[in-house]
Amino acid sequence: MPSCAILGLPTVGKTTVFNLLTGMRKDTSKFFSGRTESNLGLATVRDRRVAFLSNLYKPRKTTYAQIELVDVPGLVRGASEGQGVGNAFLDGVRQSDALIHVVRAFGGHTEHVEGSVDPFRDVQTIAYELLMADIAFVDKRISRLRDGKKRTAQAEQEIELLTRILAHLESEQLFSSFGLSGAEEKLLAGYTFFTHKPMIIVANLDDEQFVATDYPQRAELHAYARERGLLLLEMSANTEMELDELDGQDRDELLAELKLDVPGVDRIAHASYSVLGLISFFTVGEDEVRAWTIRQGITAKQAAGKIHSDLERGFIRAEVMRCQDLETFGSAVKLKEKGLVSLEGKDYIVEDGDVLSIRFNV
């Protein structure tokens, strides 16, 4: 299952965000007190289309898509060199597919590890530590290759490529901006670069800042995200905790008062899904309405394998409807009458929002 690491300095609210996304209630002080293990949990990607399909088919069970979240220990300066809980931090980041960087904009009585609240400085601190970790990794790899007893032609190619990458990183450029050819990608298969992982920045505000949509270094933070093509979301963990305690009309009223369509944690979950390059297709019936998570570009036969290996092995055809069409016309019967249900072969590329029924024989 694809995973996102939630990272940031201590006392920025990242474990609170993790708790809200996963429905878990982990101790928010544990990393600040010196414990170094990561928290693991699953976040539900709430999708109005699943709610619609569930209301339409009245199944016994409704299953939303999920992504794995890793709440890694809080970072301090020097983490790339093993300072603080640096090694645990880097391990948590290394094993994840994308990053959610929670940065503190709220004030209050909680002490900031740097002595003052400065979200722009903190974003740069995290970025610097990730960059330095990549530089250290590449430098060490080059040294190992050069010191090897047998310098193969492939090793020489790798040294040359890594030397260029090192120069790129040392000029404070992210690995993600270093263009690789197809052959170079194969040469680096299995390597993990921290500055290659997609990142979402989440600014954690207090209630007043959130309502006013203003906080220290907001303009600088937005400019930083824009220049690097990063998604920046703003939320108030305090407000989100209040929303989490409500349901029904009370929840809807607070959302309306805040001028929000959905809670901030739902926006984070959807953004994580997006930056990971994931889409959902659906299966429907009396037993279950379910969202299935796949990467963009997956074929119908491969998607069938997500449901069950037998469906992929004996795949014949996929009956395909669009959830949007079901919302428009109200039933599968009407879609068939209008010619909006298709039979697709194994090479059909599944699209986000497809409702699939697999025909198979084993």
What's the alpha-carbon Rg for the chain, to the nearest Å?
A: 23
Nearest by Cα to 353 from 313, 334, 325, 329: 325
All structural domains of the chain with their residue ranges: 3-117+197-275, 132-195, 297-360
Residue 80: C-alpha distances to residues 34, 85, 125, 331 (Å): 17, 10, 11, 55
The answer to whether residues 208 and 105 touch, using CB atoms and an 8 Å cutoff, is no
Tens-digit pLDDT profile for residues 27-73: 444 444 444 567 889 999 989 999 999 999 999 999 999 999 989 87
Tens-digit pLDDT profile for residues 311-353: 999 999 999 999 999 999 999 999 999 999 999 999 999 999 9
Greatest Cα pair distance, the chain, in angstroms, is: 71
> What span, in angstroms and rounded, lies between the C-alpha atoms of 99 and 113?
21
Location of structure tokens 């220990």: 73
Contacts of 139 (CB under 8 A, 6+ apart): 166
Tens-digit pLDDT profile for residues 145-193: 888 777 788 888 989 999 999 999 999 888 988 888 888 888 888 888 9
Tens-digit pLDDT profile for residues 209-256: 998 889 989 999 999 999 988 999 999 999 889 888 888 888 888 888
The answer to whether residues 260 and 235 touch, using CB atoms and an 8 Å cutoff, is no
> What span, in angstroms and rounded, lies between the C-alpha atoms of 248 and 241?
15
> Which of 19-25's residues contact partners 24+ apart within 8 Å by CB, and which partners?
20/237, 20/240, 20/241, 20/244, 20/265, 21/69, 21/265, 21/268, 21/269, 22/69
Predicted local distance difference test score (pLDDT) of residue 362: 82
Identical fold for domains 132-195 and 297-360, yes or no, is no
Q: What's the burial of 179, exposed, middle or buried (CB within 10 Å: 0-12/13-18/19+)? A: exposed
Collapsing DSSP to helix, strand or coil, 342 comes out as: strand
Q: What is the mean pLDDT of residues 2-19?
A: 89
> What span, in angstroms and rounded, lies between the C-alpha atoms of 40 and 3?
10
Collapsing DSSP to helix, strand or coil, 196 comes out as: helix
Other CB atoms within 10 Å distance of the CB of residue 241: 13
203 membership: H or E segment, kind and range: strand 199-204
Contacts of 272 (CB under 8 A, 6+ apart): 4, 43, 45, 67, 98, 100, 200
At 134, is the pLDDT very low, low, confident or very high (cuts 50, 70, 90)? very high
% of the chain with per-residue pLDDT over 90: 56
**In terms of CATH, what superfamily is 297-360?**
Beta-grasp domain (3.10.20.30)
> What span, in angstroms and rounded, lies between the C-alpha atoms of 267 and 274?
10
Q: Is beta strand 342-344 parallel, antiparallel or unpaired with respect to 315-322?
A: antiparallel
Q: Is beta strand 315-322 parallel, antiparallel or unpaired with respect to 278-283?
A: unpaired
Class of 3-117+197-275 in CATH: alpha beta
What's the full length of the chain, in residues?
362
Q: What is the DSSP string of 65-85?
A: EEEEEEEPPPP-TTGGGT-TT
The answer to whether residues 21 and 265 touch, using CB atoms and an 8 Å cutoff, is yes
* pTM, two decimal places: 0.85
Q: Is beta strand 354-360 parallel, antiparallel or unpaired with respect to 3-7?
A: unpaired
Predicted local distance difference test score (pLDDT) of residue 138: 93
> What span, in angstroms and rounded, lies between the C-alpha atoms of 41 and 70?
7
What the block records as the tokens of 277 is: 């390059």
Query: Which of 1.10.150, 1.20.120, 3.40.50, 3.40.630 is the CATH number of 132-195?
Result: 1.10.150
